[in-house]
Structure 1
Amino acid sequence: MKIKSQTLLIAGLFGFLFCCGANLSAQSVCLPAPRLLTTTPMGGQVGTQVEISVSGEHLDGIADLLFSDPHLTAAKKLDAAGNPEPNKYVVSIAADSPPGIYEARVLTRLGLSSSRIFSVGTFLEVTQKPNTTLATAMELQVNSICNSALTPRAIDHYAFEAKRGMRIIVDCAARGIDSKLDPVLVIADADGRDLLVERRAGILDFKVPADGRYIIKVHELTFKGGNTCFYRLVLRELAPDAQITRHPATRTVNSFSWPPQGLPEAPSASEAEPNNDVSKPQSIALPCDIAGSFFPAADVDVFEFDAKKGEEWWIEVASERFGLPTDPSLLVQRVTREGDVEKLIDVVELSDIPSPVKVSSNGYAYDGPPYNAGSSDPLGKLSIPEDGRYRLQLRDLFGGTRNDPRNVYRLVIRQA
């Protein structure tokens, strides 16, 4: 009996040790991943050398600063005694380096870090000085870029001189260069009175009303700040009829991409004004591929076409998928006449592309694909009920007060 108890005790002990060993062997131990969070400044001018400092997480033992293109090289910055300064580098940008965005990484004893965007441009580059009040506004030259970071609960002020009639463009690169900043831009007069405001990460297109000094204000939408709320403020002059181009930026990838497979990159036609009145519709022939814009405010573009009974067409509008703050809506009506009286019969109304993700019956989970591929762009089929004339009206449901010619769209109608 005693021997049996001892046997059971030993067997239990071995079982306990075996389970503990199995649990220990199942645990995985990972070294921390190095993360590069900021480079200051965030860019430089073609053909120059820039002194930058880097910061991040788990960057102990930094060996090198590396770039995604051989036109950019970095060497450690040395102090007066010839010793490397911690986390500081001198970046050389080749004279033939193409303007744009590049990836920067640091090599550490833990491996290669995550990347951070480094911009290269052709304008003069400067770095922010203390400028959180109107009295301390930092002077900027037209056609220059300022590398800055916002202080929490503060507004950065910049000043520039301009002459009447000049077209001034103010752009703020933030989210597109890996910043956490949602910028608000303001142009004000010399006394700080606001003249023009942009709150949707767009640009300011400002026609100077009189010679003098003007102020640019920059703040975060919710007044956040810190070293991750960095930005590049671009101040430049543009010809009155020139096309506006934005500061180079990364692009987000959506579950829905544009253009669809097989569609040409450029549309074959453009809307012809005035087509924003039902009495002056633009005549089109199907199939078609038309570019237009929701401009001016409350714009409704009207098109008419002939079709025969039994025809089926796919109608698609792209605007929100261009990254624009729009919500297109489309209505197709059959046009008939009774004497001199025009009669309209609704055929189809298209609005959003629905998401394939659906709430499950129990309300606690989701059914369908594990991605959200919905969009506020319209997509649907038009079945022609009778021979005749048809009218298509296209509008932006958000465009009642928006007077922005950059809110463009592309209307594509193709055989189903």
Structure 2
Amino acid sequence: MRRLVYGLFGLVVCGTAAAQQTPPPGLPTARIGTVFPAGAKAGPPHQVTALGVTVAADELTVTGTDLDDPEGLYFSHPGIKGVFVPPPEPPTDPKKKDPPPAKKANANSHKFRVAVAADVPPGTYDVRFVGKYGVSNPRAFVVGAAPELYEREPNNDVGEAQRVALGTTVNGVLTANTDVDYSVFTAKKGQRVVIACRASTIDTRATPMIEVYSAAGNKLASNRNYKDGDAVADLIAPEDGDYLVRLAQFAYQGGGTDFVYRLTVGTGPWIDAVFPPVVEPGKPAQVTLYGRNLPGSQPADGFAVDGRPLEKLTVTVTPPTDPVATTRLTVRDRIDPATALQDGFEYVFKGPTGASNPVPVYFAREKVVAKKNPGGSTPSTAEPIPVPCEVAGFIARRGDSDWYSFDAKKGETLLIDLAAVRIGVEADFYLSVRDGKDPKRDLSGEQDDDPDSLHPFGFYTRSTDPAPYKFTAPEDGKYLILVGCREASVLTGPRAMYRLRVAPPKPDYRAVAMPYSRFFQSGPTVWQGGTQALDVFLHRADGYSGAVTVTAEGLPAGVTAKPVTIGPGARWGVLVLHAAANAAPGVGPIALKATGPGADGKPVTREVRPATVTWGTAQQNANTPVIARLDQSMLLAVRPEKAQFAVAVDPAGATIKLNGKDEKLAAPLIVKQGDKFTVLVKVNWAAPEKQNVTLTAEPLAPNPQNAPLTVQAGAQPTKEKPEGTLNFDVKSNAAPGVYAVTVKGVAQVPFVRDPMAKQKANVPEEEFAEPLLVTVIPTSVAKVTVASLPAALKLGATGELTVKVERQFDYAGPYTVKFAAPMGTTGVTADEVTIPAGQNEVKLVVKAAADAKPGSVSNATVTVAAQYDNKYPISHEAKVSFTVAK
């Protein structure tokens, strides 16, 4: 699925660079497309004194849209600084009295002097532009350990190849679809040289193919799509001499200023895989590195990548011990949505020949069991595994599948979760659960691609991994798990890894937030008196269903954010940041925290992971997922520009339909399943001229039929009457809980960049109201059944009615049970009884007085009452009939 998404992306983005940079309609927002070069070397050779320290300095060109009045660059590491370089002043003409006006910087391209402190660790960081219209989306900026060069043109043919020393990084651009860049390096016989080209993992559009030739013109190696759009090749030099590297856009399908690359040629260590890919948190673990140029390594059992033999080396990795760190994904590399919900850390091998490329190591949720390869490829040789555990394996031989066996008790429920794409493996795995006594008996059916996604287009997590499968053992015994791979005939070895978790469910969640600009890259920016919305996506693991509240931390003075609650079972919400009219302009980091109930009832807090769209798309529809990634931090810019209007929901003006009539609904809004109500929305204008406003409410689910409640606009605000209404419909099957509904208003407002201009064009401005909290309570918390008396009730005697409840909506409290005889019946009574918390039935003792009237007692009422959430009374009634006899 990763390749599919990038393939779709390639079709979408083909076109001119100018078309790709066209901003969406609306008020200006800083967006960057390219950063060139996309990296620099820390420390020497270029030395300047800046910021009080001696650092390396390189000139950086940033291109994009709405980049007016540059203030600087903001890097995710404080040791990297970027200072704006103004364009040169035009030359003066001594014959003219008045000097020419100063040249104004282009709003779409700027140069910066970048300083990288010597102690900044090599790795990938985020860089953002800061200017008049806020802080931009991030772009990757790599701090390297190798000397850096710029691509030197012409280099389009063999005779023009740019000479590159081993251990060097070349920063280049494929400026046209026919552009071909040649480099040449010298190697000694037996030297293993790795040629790595980073492109899509540094946020560029390039998907290069690299080919390596001998001086005689013989092709020795080639590669593309090593990881996403990056390429990695290597060769063991057959003789002393020169070797050519040919680099071009694959199939010549695109080119332009945003087809940037970083080509590194060297003999340093390269890691292709880490096995096992998961370790237990806080415990040092031995893992095997598979790769090239690993000092002290051995041949890797015949495993290869693109026909190039791999080496293996056993090392010890030490995971972080901080409990909070074990719930993060701390990897300074591109993390796409499919991988973004894992937990893990970054590992770099350091040896005498330098440091390797960084690779992720993931945290296991259970004890790790490494598969014993080879073996276990048939049902009869299935490898026994303990439960619970997390198995790490890979397809060892061409055409293989892996079998595992485990024991389970009747009724035992286990979650079987197979992940490959989610740990960065580009392979299509599947599984099935079989009967241990008859392997042909498939108990689960083939579990293949999971069609689900955290969001249908904004943060597209769908992959070819199967969905976690919930297995309940039908009887005591042994069971089998088959793990297979669609590409097993062509893809084997440690790059065909997977992790297989077999364990009881452990409900938990992870959260991701990104700017509301869903089809275009953007950074969080709020104008004075205005709002900035953040989409918050909630991944519910192992059946987690609790309501989760998201809060903002570290907000600057004058900026507020009302916590947003993502209701039971819901998967996204919108957090709204509001800047006061006098909020001080500035830029700084903020953070979001999510809190929800744990299995023990105690609150569980998780950091919300920041993310952004990488490239915008002109096809703005739910069928075209955008390319997005995790960011290393979340920033917020407050700008002195003024919002022209504000939207506010007025819950005090809400009305509810009761018996066909509109009745006042008191705030806070507490409604029942099936209720319909209306809320008033007001628009407050700061601009002198009012406009019509279109109100919409953010849906709580991708399919409205699956949403707990739906919202439709009633009357829309107009110039004459700046208020409107929204009509709410609570589904009869809505899960009880608190839901946050975010309302957006859009108006066409006059705007022009030049404040002195007389004519202003209308552009859409969107503003958000604070989320409206709606508490939905159930109409019932039990299904009640009453078993009638086994025989007629005698005068002066008693009988027992068995009252049973089937609890609903996780209600675990007590029930009060009362009896009421039908009108006209006297002498038949019962004392009130209680079904204790956690129990499901009680005996209701019915008494017939000695002077009671014999005969049929029809439709006596048994009332079962509960206090939902300890404050909302809910009653249930059941009817029962019996006979009173002498």
1:221 is matched with 250
Aligned to 1:351, what secondary structure does the other structure show? coil
In 1, Cα distance between equivalents of 2:365 and 2:123: 22
Q: Specify the code of the residue in structure 1 equivalent to 2:481.
A: L
Paired with 1:34 and 1:308, the residues of 2 have a C-alpha distance of 59
Note the C-alpha offset of 1:99.
1.9
Aligned counterpart, 1:273? 373
Give the letter for the 1:135 counterpart: G
CA contact (8 A) 1:62 1:108 kept: yes
- Work out the CA distance in 1 between the residues paired with 2:36 and 2:158: 24
- 1:55 shift after superposition: 2.7
The letter for the 2-side match of 1:253 is P
Which secondary structure state, in structure 2, belongs to the residue aligned with residue 324 of structure 1? coil
The one-letter code sitting in structure 2 at the alignment partner of 1:408 is M
Tell me the equivalent position of 2:465. 377
Q: Work out which of the residue numbers 162, 175, 182 in structure 2 matches 1:138.
A: 162
Cα offset, 1:292, TM superposition: 1.5
Change (3 A) 1:105 1:307: closer
Q: Identity percentage over the alignment?
A: 27
Quick check: 1:351 aligned with 2:351? no
Change in 2 beyond 3 A, CA 1:96/1:243 = farther
CA contact (8 A) 2:338 2:463 kept: no
State the 1:232 CA deviation. Answer: 1.0
CA contact (8 A) 1:256 1:374 kept: no
Other structure's SS at 1:176 match: helix
- CA 276–129 in structure 1, closer or farther in 2 if over 3 Å, else same: farther
- Aligned position for 1:126: 149
- 2:487 maps to 398
How big is the shift at 1:231?
1.0
**Is 1:210 aligned to 2:310, yes or no?**
no
Rounded to whole Å, the distance in 2 between the matches of 1:199 and 1:382 is 40
**1:122 CA displacement:** 1.0
1:189 aligns with 2:217: no
Rounded to whole Å, the distance in 2 between the matches of 1:218 and 1:46 is 26
TM-score, scaled to structure 1: 0.76
Q: Is the 8 A contact 1:319 1:326 kept in 2?
A: yes
Structure 1: 5+ residue runs without aligned partners? 1-28, 337-341, 358-367
Give the corresponding residue for 2:128: 105
Deviation of the 1:264 alpha carbon: 3.2
User: Which is worse superposed, 102-111 or 157-166?
Assistant: 102-111
* Distance change in 2, residues 1:282/1:188 (3 Å): farther
Aligned-partner residue type, residue 101 of structure 1: T
Task: Write out aligned runs for 1:87-98 (5 A).
Answer: 87-98=110-121
Q: Is the 8 A contact 2:38 2:262 kept in 1?
A: yes
Which residue number in structure 1 is paired with residue 384 of structure 2?
A: 283
- Deviations along 1:295-318, one digit per CA (max 9) or x if unpaired, are 443332222333444433221101
Structure 2 distance, partners of 1:214, 1:41, is 25
Q: What is the CA deviation profile of residues 300-347 of structure 1, one whole-angstrom value per residue up to 9, with x for unaligned ones?
A: 2222333444433221101011232211111333344xxxxx974333
Equivalent residue for 2:880? none
Residue 205 of structure 1 deviates from its aligned partner by 5.0
Cα deviations across residues 191-219 of structure 1 (Å, max 9, x unaligned)?
44333332224353524051233222222
SS of structure 2 residue aligned to 1:377: strand
Question: SS at 1:406's partner residue?
Answer: helix
Name the amino acid aligned to 1:381.
K
Q: Cα distance, 1:174 vs. partner?
A: 1.4
Output aligned runs, 1:5-404, within 5 Å.
31-47=27-43, 48-77=56-85, 87-130=110-153, 131-152=155-176, 153-202=178-227, 203-211=231-239, 212-223=241-252, 224-237=254-267, 238=269, 239-240=293-294, 241=297, 249-254=333-338, 257-258=341-342, 264=364, 268-278=368-378, 280-336=381-437, 344-356=440-452, 374-378=462-466, 379-403=468-492
| Residue 277 to residue 116, structure 1, CA distance change in 2 (3 Å) | closer
Describe the superposition over 1:165-204 as per-residue Cα deviations: whole angstroms up to 9, x where unpaired: 3333222221222211122232333344333332224353
Maintained 8 Å contact 2:213/2:245: yes
Tell me, yes or no, if the aligned pair for 1:32 and 1:110 is still in contact at 8 Å: yes
Higher relative contact order (CA 8 A, sep 6+): 1
Q: Distance in 1 between matches of 2:197 and 2:163?
A: 17
CA distance in 2, matches of 1:158, 1:271: 42
Q: What is the CA–CA distance in structure 2 between the aligned matches of 1:198 and 1:313, rounded to whole Å?
A: 41
Check 1:42–1:374 CA distance in 2 against 1; reply closer, same or farther (3 A cut).
closer
Amino acid at match of 2:433: V
Question: How much has 1:127 moved relative to structure 2?
Answer: 0.8
Tell me, yes or no, if the aligned pair for 2:192 and 2:237 is still in contact at 8 Å. Answer: no
Q: Compute the displacement of 1:38 (Å).
A: 2.4
Question: Which residue is 1:363 aligned to?
Answer: none
CA–CA separation in structure 1 for the residues paired with 2:461 and 2:63: 36
Deviation at 1:394, TM superposition (A): 1.2
CA distance in 2, matches of 1:385, 1:168: 56
Q: CA deviation at 1:395?
A: 1.6
Q: Distance in 2 between matches of 1:54 and 1:371?
A: 26
Counterpart of 1:273, as a letter, is N
* Deviation sequence 1:201-250 (CA, Å, 0-9, x none): 43535240512332222222342111101011122322343779xx9532
Amino acid in structure 1 at the alignment position of 2:495:
R
Q: CA RMSD in A?
A: 3.6
1:38-97 residue CA offsets vs partner (Å, 9 max, x unmatched)? 232111001122122333333344343443433112345589999999633322211111
Task: Determine if contact 1:255/1:372 at 8 Å carries over to the other structure.
Answer: no
The one-letter amino acid of 2:215's match is A
In 2, Cα distance between the equivalents of 1:295 and 1:194? Answer: 29
Alignment partners' CA distance in 1, 2:427 and 2:397: 14
CA spacing shift, 1:324–1:267, aligned 2, 3 Å: farther
Residue 254 of structure 1 and its aligned partner are, at CA, apart by 4.2
- Tell me, yes or no, if the aligned pair for 2:439 and 2:480 is still in contact at 8 Å: no
Cα gap change, 1:346/1:89 in structure 2, threshold over 3 Å: closer, same or farther?
closer
- The CA deviation at 1:160 is 1.8
Give the CA deviation at 1:387: 4.1
- 8 Å contact kept, 2:171–2:261: yes
Larger radius of gyration: 2
Q: Displacement of 1:139 after TM fit?
A: 1.8
SS in 2 for 1:349: coil
Question: Structure 1, residues 3-56: CA drift from partner, whole Å, max 9, x if none?
Answer: xxxxxxxxxxxxxxxxxxxxxxxxxx9543333332321110011221223333
Deviation at 1:251, TM superposition (A): 1.4
Aligned residue pair count: 370
Tell me, yes or no, if the aligned pair for 1:183 and 1:201 is still in contact at 8 Å: no
Between stretches 222-231 and 48-57, larger displacement belongs to 48-57
Name whichever structure is richer in strand by fraction: 2
The secondary structure found in structure 2 opposite 1:325 is coil
